Amino acid sequence: GGVGKTTLAQLVYNDEKVEEHFDFKVWVCVSEDFDVVRVTKSLLESVVRNTPSAASKVWESDNLDILRVELKKNSREKRFLFVLDDLWNDNYNDWDELVSPLIDGKPGSSVIITTRQQKVVEMAKTFPIYKLDPLSDEDCWSILSKHALGSDECDASKNTALEEIGRKIARKCGGLPLAL
């Protein structure tokens, strides 16, 4: 946690070229409490909201089959980007239930998953996989000094003690941008 998975996904999601490439984009925060009905309903509501020809209504049904049929119908023949942020569930059957309605999307459709769990990556069989590593101590210091001092250049002749303390703090953050 804190290495920047969600931040990186947000940068991709909000990129202008990405916006132009897809007919619609949907972001769903999944979290530890994975509920395939809730996630499918969230996807469907966002897809319908982004589809001018679709009837705009909140889906009250908790019947997964009905939700999946509607999601498939409303996303078919469209190029979509779905981001499933912070996925923890590594149950293949749940994953299959969630993504099976998305099979008929236009070529170029994508699903981005952020997760801390290697088992989720293996279950979802997502490719390519981008593993984010913690930052180096020097990169940590650069970020910390930029935020604390207003620049990444610390005047060594004036702030030696400050820089020494800052570098110790940067090392203690363990390479995690969120901690910095």
Q: Would you kindly state where each structural domain of the chain is located, as residue ranges?
A: 5-124, 137-179
Domain 5-124 has CATH 3.40.50.300: yes
Confidence of residue 11 (pLDDT cuts 50, 70, 90): very high
pLDDT at site 55: 53
pLDDT tens sequence across 122-175: 888 767 888 888 999 999 998 888 888 776 555 555 677 888 898 999 999 999
> In 48-65, which positions are buried (b, 16+ CB within 10 angstroms) versus exposed (e)?
bebbeeeeeeebeeeeee
Q: Which two tokens stand for residue 108?
A: 């170029």
Residue 49 has pLDDT above 80, yes or no: no
Residue 30 has pLDDT above 60, yes or no: yes
pLDDT at site 34: 83
pLDDT tens sequence across 67-116: 999 999 888 888 999 999 998 888 888 888 888 888 878 888 999 999 98
pLDDT at site 76: 85
Mean pLDDT of 9-38: 91
pLDDT at site 168: 92
68 within 8 A of 44, measured Cβ to Cβ: no
pTM, full prediction: 0.80
pLDDT at site 22: 94
